[in-house]
Amino acid sequence: MIWIYRILFLPAFFMLMPYYALRMMRRGGYRKDFSHRLGLIPKLKSAKNTKRIWIQAVSVGEAKAIGPLVNMFQQLPNVEIIITTTTSTAYTIIQEQYASKVALVGIFPIDFWPFSKFAWHQLQPDLAILMESELWPEHLHQAKRRKVPVILINARMSDRSFRRYHIVRGTAQWLLSGPTKILASARADAERFIHLGAPPDRVIATGSIKFDVQIEPILNDAEIDAMKQEMGLLSAFSENRSHTANPPLTLLGSSTWPGEEKMLLNILESALQAGINCRLLLVPRHAERRDEIIALLEKQSRRWQVRSRGPARSSVRIYLADTTGELGTLSQLANLAFIGKSMPPNDGGQSPIEAAAIGLPIIYGPNMSNFRPIARSLEEAGAASVVHNAAHAQQTIVELLKKSKARQKMSKAAKNWHTRNRGATERTFQECITFLQ
């Protein structure tokens, strides 16, 4: 089967290259250490009696999620860590947060035979860790050849992936036989892996390590007010003096995707017309969409500011945070969060865990397939509400902005839900260290 994959890889790679090249140019930063993608990663000297762990964290969310796990591994004697990633944004974050803690940070090689083989030759890990849904055939094959255990942690199976794998059950079974252990983020995910052919004795539900991510820094009230003042979100509008009695509420668009910013702008307008003193804080999932969103802002009449342009000179109704890695901090300024990538035609959803940890009432659309068990659990806890279309979103959000007691109830439920679900990192760590002995 691996040879079929290798033969098919090249034509598929060249067919998809224009698409990925365009993405690289739009997002920028891909030139840095591009040689790593070809397997040309610096060789590490093998230290005597030292176990080496290679962690692959594909993008920003995973890069942040591994923090507590990395800290646990650091406490072990004679263990060194390698962290790789795929996106340029995550690479920057990994360098900033982990370079002083680990033996090497790098970029994951393209999953083609010579590239993967050379990277494995250079790094020579004793344990390989993949995250969520990353099952790279060549990477898994190189591990098998070297008798190196591979653990898929925080493993999840989205609705779309489950449907696709179901069509090619034989391929799915072959692929899922690669990891030595699959640590699923929820029981439902574990059942899906087993249904598709993963050996049942290799699958265990340990929970999502994203519950254990520490949001840093935690802002106090004075720091929140200072940030809001700098961003133009705190002081009252001169255009509507009737709004000066109470501090404005902030609606957060968390990791938004195309179409969702326009919906939130319409909701803001409806809330203002209903007499609600509020602001809109947009944090798009991809900062490079700033020009697209700015074009939307230029078509409406409310004052706005873009984070990359510096402090606001006056009060604004809309603030666009076109930066990366600040969602946890900026979320603390909000009173209510809409979770992006959840409204049609977008699908999959972004993680609501960070918003819940902060204690934000949560709203999202119907397309949360990447976080289905988490979304269901949030709804059952009373911490989140699902909206089915733009009109429903407008009605629900405006009503919540009006009702402080309802927001407080959801906020308390969100914090309690998050506290109850912590501990996955410790369970993941205990499973991993059995392969280091």
Q: Confidence band (pLDDT; 50, 70, 90) for 25?
A: low
Total number of residues shown for the chain: 437
Residue 27 has pLDDT above 70, yes or no: no
**Amino acid 53: pLDDT:** 98
List CB contacts of 221: < 8 A, sequence separation 6 or more.
none
Q: Is the pLDDT assigned to residue 60 strictly greater than 90?
A: no
**Paired tokens of 187:** 């029981």
Residue 243 reports pLDDT greater than 70:
no
| pLDDT, position 242 | 42
* Average pLDDT of span 19-29: 65
How far is Cα 181 from Cα 437, in angstroms, rounded to an integer?
Answer: 16
Buried b (16+ CB within 10 A) or exposed e, 165-187: beeeeebbebbbebbbbbbbbbe
Here the tokens at position 150 are 């591979």
Among residues 404, 327, 433, the alpha carbon closest in space to that of 60 is found at: 327
Architecture of domain 221-420: 3-Layer(aba) Sandwich (3.40)
Looking at residue 44, its pLDDT comes to 85
Q: Do domains 2-208+422-433 and 221-420 have the same CATH topology?
A: yes
At 191, list the tokens: 């059942």
Q: Give whole-number Cα distances, 335 to 150, 355, 404, in Å.
A: 41, 10, 9
H or E element at residue 183: strand 181-184
| Residue at token pair 């999840």 | 156
Burial track 191-202 (b if 16+ CB lie within 10 A, e otherwise): ebbbebbbeeeb
pLDDT > 70 fraction of the chain, expressed in percent and rounded: 95
Instruction: Return the CATH number of 2-208+422-433, one of 3.40.50.300, 3.40.50.720, 3.10.20.30, 3.40.50.2000.
Output: 3.40.50.2000
pLDDT tens string 65-124 = 999 999 999 999 999 999 999 988 899 999 999 999 999 999 999 999 999 999 999 999
Tell me the Cα Rg of the chain: 23
pLDDT of residue 240: 43
Percent above pLDDT 90 for the chain:
82
Interhelix angle 88-98/2-27, rounded to 10 degrees, is: 80
| Three-state DSSP state, 206 | coil
So what's the pLDDT on residue 325? 84
Q: What is the largest CA-CA distance in the chain?
A: 71
For residue 426, pLDDT beyond 70: yes
DSSP string, 307-374: GGG-S-SS--SEEE---SS-HHHHHTT-SEEEESS-STT--S----HHHHHHT--EEE-S--GGGHHH
In this prediction the pTM is 0.86
Q: Which of 276, 281, 285, 267 is nearest to 317 (CA)?
A: 281
Average pLDDT estimate for 250-279: 97
Average confidence score pLDDT of the chain: 92
Q: Would the pLDDT of 331 be above 80?
A: yes
* Predicted local confidence at residue 28, as pLDDT: 61
**Residue 43, number of CB atoms within 10 A of its CB:** 12
Q: Where do the domains of the chain lie?
A: 2-208+422-433, 221-420
pLDDT at 237 over 60: no
Mean pLDDT confidence for 146-164? 94
